[in-house]
Chains A and B, each alone.
Chain A
Amino acid sequence: MKVAIASGKGGTGKTTLATNLASYLSRTAPVALVDMDVEEPNSALFLSGNAHHQETKSKQIPQWHAKNCTLCGNCQEVCNFNAVLVMAKRVMVFPELCHSCYVCSELCPTQSLPMTQKPMGELTHLKADNLDFVESRLLIGEEQAAPLIKQTHDYVDANFLPEMIKILDSPPGTACPMIEATKDADLVVLVTEPTPFGLHDLKLAVETVRHLGKTFGVVINRDGIGDDAVARYCEDENIKLIARIPNSRRIAEIYARGGLLIDEVPAVKDAVALVATTIQDHLKGGTR
């Protein structure tokens, strides 16, 4: 079972919930935490474990072979992403811009652009008792997060049993990376803050997960600041409000140094327990 922790905007507490939830669940059963925010993966800053496995994730890109090339220009013409340019004496390929669609390679009249592997990120797998932690990190300069997210899903599917709970720390926003991270999820938990910014971005995230046809619920982080507009919105829209994580300066301080909140703040542990219960209920047959 995959549970995606997502949000419409960054900085609402996604990573805080994901790391604490995974740690909490791992006290009773094996659980995997997967950091899908491959552009800015931060979960590892809050966890420790022993290195279990590391691999370079690659994508397929064309590689120019000069020998038979007539510099006819077809490859540049068919590429929709400016990833291949035909210069006076050579063909240049820009791996970060390439979407691996194969069109230039397979339509080249002289087969001068065979596809080859190019690293785009690093996947790391750590283990600590009951907790497996998988993180993928996009190399600087790489433009597209979605292919690496997809390969991370593939790694998770190949290495963990389907019934094991996997917590996915998703990228923020409502664009391709967020969709790629959450589209396989059985349950989506949207984290928000009770402020006009939080509400505005939550509405966009709700629209997205509804479009994807997902079962989802909301966690309000920093509860107590702002107003009750988010709670009212959830009620009006018939969205399950799973839990509220209280606001406190102490929580912000513990986060700042990379600490786990469930060990130090009972109210956070209670909120995380509610999320865990929702996941377990969903596993048993599910409430919407």
Chain B
Amino acid sequence: MKIAFTTQGTDWDSPMDARFGRTQYFFVFDEETNEVKTFDNSAIEQEAHGAGPRTAQKLVELGAHVLITGNGPGGNAAAVLSATGVKVYVGANDMSVKEALEAFKAGTLKG
């Protein structure tokens, strides 16, 4: 299973980015292979409107099965994620990526 995080940096200690649509990075962890890939989402700054669905499309392209984020995606982005079967967990605002993964495993994030 591939788990994606919205982050402000590219390593396990990076703080989470509470935003979805305009997140700075995606940090994608593949549980099976233990591989980590990051994606720089900063090009989204150029979009005046519709950042959410565009970012959601990117997340789907990255092959994520689960998204862990802070505030949660808005309506349009949520529509993309649910249409493609990505499960969303929110509430990881003030955590590092590592802490967010632990919280997810402990089941303390909101599904």
Contact = CB atoms under 8 A, between A and B. Distances in A.
Interface of A: 81-83, 85, 87-88, 90, 92, 94, 96-97, 141, 143
A88 B58 CA distance: 11
B47 interface: yes
Given A85-B54, A87-B80, 13 more contacts: A81-B50, A82-B53, A82-B54, A87-B83, A87-B84, A88-B60, A88-B84, A92-B79, A92-B83, A94-B53, A94-B76, A141-B75, A143-B49
A97 B83 contact: no
B80 A85 contact: yes
Contact of A83 (B50, B60, B84): B50
B63 to A, nearest CB: 11
Given A87-B80, A141-B75, A92 B60 contact: no
Contacts of A141: 75
A66 to B, nearest CB: 13
B57 interface: yes
Interface in B37-84: 47, 49-51, 53-54, 57, 60, 75-76, 79-80, 83-84
Range of interface residues on B (Cβ < 8 Å): 10 to 19
Interface hub of B47, B76, B80 (most chain A Cβ within 10 A):
B76
A83 B51 CA distance: 10
18 contacts: A81-B50, A82-B49, A82-B50, A82-B51, A82-B54, A85-B53, A85-B54, A85-B80, A87-B80, A87-B84, A90-B83, A92-B80, A92-B83, A94-B50, A94-B53, A96-B76, A97-B49, A141-B75
